[in-house]
Homo-oligomer: A and B are copies of this chain.
């Protein structure tokens, strides 16, 4: 448990380094991340390399005992390279090259770019592998940031054709799978296939609407695979010279919507994962449950502790600022990260840079570099963690509930949303939120991984599943697991075609139901009643016919009043639930209590609004985090006696928390 800062020695006069290092040490900043945008400093001209500046910086900060995460600088190929090798440029969805001028302007499939990256990465890895200051590596920066996963250039088109050839073998097989008899889209060879750019459908030329959904999903998968392949190449380059752990910074913040990369696959390439956590800035404000969900995703990709590689430390934005973090919020956000599985929290950035795109983006320090109230708050956190580290190693929440997260389903649903207002990501949050509200940690899983560590598995809108995944879920249920499927689960094959089996298709036997009729709700709502109390659906209603299942919820309005909306089916020793509609927040909460209790989870924890409770452990010692997001004090009642590990006060009956304050409780002996 410790803090760090993202630092750019190249932005400041060397005379300033000393002040910075001393202020860092004073604040208990243990680690800095360095060098992720420095390509033009390393290679100012083709083949001419300069490392002295970095040698100097590493030696300098190393002397202060500050550890370093060393980056590969592939996110910013320099101007001379772009001018000489314009094929490096990523192409947008219309096939136009992106311009030099910001960053991430490269195509992952450009051979030139791949070669240039490998060459520089090799030199860096070789030179710094043994530097005593370095403790880990970061590859690239924010892979897939700002829609850069999907490129529409010629290189990508060629590689995509090979990818398809490998997948389908023959063009007839592809034609059959894609259903190209529809609208005369039959291909005679893989060379006839184009990447699905925008502009095929006349009045929506800004996107790919109307194109073959199987082709689109394949292209999304190919793009994700391309990023993973690029990443693997960088990781392998480093591994040739270094045994230190390797990572990159992911982007799961709700505000940064999906990057189009399958993070379960990408994470396999890393020794540990990290992410960039901005809570209130130019592009929006994240609610605490959303940030918690993002942390949950991060710890789930590898089922182990992670880092926050960029944690917000001031007001930020490019052209407009979000609000300044109210006193206490930096500390609160940091402990939220720790409670949910973050081992190290690195603040972005040490000091606001006075030039360039992010000249408005504030770090811990303002442009003037003087100690300020945010520095004071960070220093407090640094000191507390120094103390806490004596009692705790990396903490992880004890999750007994899991939600299946399927990137295939998410992308499929982004191609065909099914109904206005429905988003895969939001629906998953709707299932996460009620457990979060009651202090029950939830992990995310793939359909294929081991489910037995969980008492309850939720599969909202799992539109498609592999044979292996289906079998895995079935086995889990057979053995006594509790599983829930929602409407629109199981309706597609893995190629993004609709199944001709009656809805819910793949899962019809498990759920023991058939759905002949469903009502996508446009501008209306439908009332329901069931084990979740009374609820309102506003997006979708399946009229559920039980085959082997038992009805536990019904519609009470519209022409299907009296029909089933929720069922339960006995499968072996387990139970499979089917919920044919979406529900409002209150009903979802009651549903969580119902399902939790069925799964043997204690759902009685007293919970105050705007307070996050996380039950975590480092394997030896437990830590009950109480985080107050309210701008007023709260009193939380406790059933046992605890020691507050920050203040070392004893907690009896209740713990009182000031606005934005935090308690870490350990059962009193």
CB-based contact A501/B368 at 8 Å = yes
CB neighbours of A90 from chain B (8 A): 202
Segment of A261-269, A322-330, A453-461, A643-651 in the binding face? A322-330
CB-based contact B11/A102 at 8 Å = no
Segment of A37-45, A158-166, A241-249 in the binding face? A37-45
CB neighbours of A522 from chain B (8 A): 280, 285, 322-323
Q: How far is the CB of A318 from chain B (nearest CB, A)?
A: 6
CB-based contact A367/B517 at 8 Å = no
CB neighbours of A200 from chain B (8 A): 98-102, 105
Q: Choose from B184, B187, B372, B420 the contact partner of A77 (Cβ within 8 Å).
A: B184
CB-based contact B417/A199 at 8 Å = no
CB-based contact A497/B359 at 8 Å = yes
Q: A517-B324, A520-B322, A559-B327 are in contact. Are A210 and B415 (CB under 8 A)?
A: no
Task: Determine how many copies of this chain the complex contains.
Answer: 3
Q: How far is the CB of A572 from chain B (nearest CB, A)?
A: 27
Q: How far is the CB of A224 from chain B (nearest CB, A)?
A: 17
A56 lies within 8 A of chain B by Cβ: no
- Which residues in window 384-435 of A have CB below 8 A to B? 415-420, 422
CB-based contact B209/A318 at 8 Å = yes
A73 lies within 8 A of chain B by Cβ: yes
Binary B-proximity of A138-173 (CB < 8 A = 1, otherwise 0): 000000001110000000000000000000000000
- Which residues in window 188-225 of A have CB below 8 A to B? 188, 192, 194, 196-197, 199-203, 205, 208-214
Segment of A64-72, A126-134, A336-344, A348-356 in the binding face? A348-356
Q: Choose from B183, B212, B360 the contact partner of A418 (Cβ within 8 Å).
A: B360
Q: A101-B194, A146-B203, A367-B500 are in contact. Are A419 and B320 (CB under 8 A)?
A: yes
Complex Cα spacing A199 to B89, Å: 12
Query: Nearest residue in B to A151 (C-beta to C-beta)?
Result: B202
CB neighbours of A322 from chain B (8 A): 520, 522
A516 lies within 8 A of chain B by Cβ: yes
Segment of A78-86, A442-450, A585-593, A598-606 in the binding face? A78-86
Segment of A174-182, A299-307, A476-484 in the binding face? A174-182
CB neighbours of A178 from chain B (8 A): 355-356
Q: Choose from B102, B213, B418, B422 the contact partner of A201 (Cβ within 8 Å).
A: B102
A620 lies within 8 A of chain B by Cβ: no
Complex Cα spacing A192 to B81, Å: 11
CB-based contact B101/A210 at 8 Å = yes
Q: A354-B498, A355-B179, A359-B498 are in contact. Are A418 and B105 (CB under 8 A)?
A: no
Tell me which of A196, A202, A420 has the highest count of chain B C-beta atoms within 10 A of its own C-beta: A202
Query: Nearest residue in B to A150 (C-beta to C-beta)?
Result: B202
Complex Cα spacing A577 to B148, Å: 48
Q: A202-B147, A418-B360, A522-B285 are in contact. Are A184 and B40 (CB under 8 A)?
A: yes
Q: How far is the CB of A515 from chain B (nearest CB, A)?
A: 9
CB neighbours of A312 from chain B (8 A): none
Q: A210-B357, A355-B498, A372-B516 are in contact. Are A420 and B181 (CB under 8 A)?
A: no
CB neighbours of A320 from chain B (8 A): 416-420, 422, 520
Q: How many A residues have CB within 8 A of the partner chain?
A: 110
CB-based contact B355/A214 at 8 Å = yes
Q: Choose from B37, B96, B201, B327 the contact partner of A182 (Cβ within 8 Å).
A: B37
Q: Binding site of A, secondary structure by majority: helix, strand, loop or mixed?
A: loop
A319 lies within 8 A of chain B by Cβ: yes
Query: Nearest residue in B to A83 (C-beta to C-beta)?
Result: B192
Complex Cα spacing A318 to B212, Å: 11
Query: Nearest residue in B to A11 (C-beta to C-beta)?
Result: B181
Tell me which of A90, A178, A366, A372 has the highest count of chain B C-beta atoms within 10 A of its own C-beta: A366
CB-based contact A210/B318 at 8 Å = yes
CB-based contact A41/B184 at 8 Å = yes
Q: A77-B184, A192-B83, A517-B372 are in contact. Are A202 and B92 (CB under 8 A)?
A: yes
CB neighbours of A467 from chain B (8 A): none
Q: How far is the CB of A549 from chain B (nearest CB, A)?
A: 18
CB-based contact B102/A419 at 8 Å = no
Q: A148-B202, A416-B318 are in contact. Are A498 and B367 (CB under 8 A)?
A: yes
CB-based contact A360/B321 at 8 Å = no
Q: How far is the CB of A212 from chain B (nearest CB, A)?
A: 6
CB-based contact A99/B194 at 8 Å = yes
- Which residues in window 27-55 of A have CB below 8 A to B? 37-41, 44-45
Q: A214-B355, A416-B359 are in contact. Are A519 and B323 (CB under 8 A)?
A: yes
Query: Nearest residue in B to A77 (C-beta to C-beta)?
Result: B184
A104 lies within 8 A of chain B by Cβ: yes
Give 6 closest A-B pairs by Cβ, nearest first. A179-B355, A182-B356, A101-B200, A40-B184, A76-B184, A321-B520
In the complex, 14 of the A-B residue pairs with CB atoms within 8 angstroms, ordered by the A residue number, are A40-B186, A79-B188, A102-B183, A182-B357, A182-B358, A213-B356, A213-B357, A319-B415, A323-B519, A352-B498, A354-B500, A367-B500, A368-B502, A370-B516
Which chain A residues have a beta carbon within 8 Å of chain B's beta carbons? Answer: 10-11, 37-41, 44-45, 73, 76-80, 83, 90, 92, 96, 98-105, 146-148, 178-188, 192, 194, 196-197, 199-203, 205, 208-214, 280, 285, 315, 318-324, 326-327, 352-360, 366-370, 372-373, 415-420, 422, 497-503, 516-524, 559
Given contacts A146-B202, A326-B559, 4 further A-B contacts (CB under 8 A): A44-B188, A101-B201, A179-B355, A182-B358
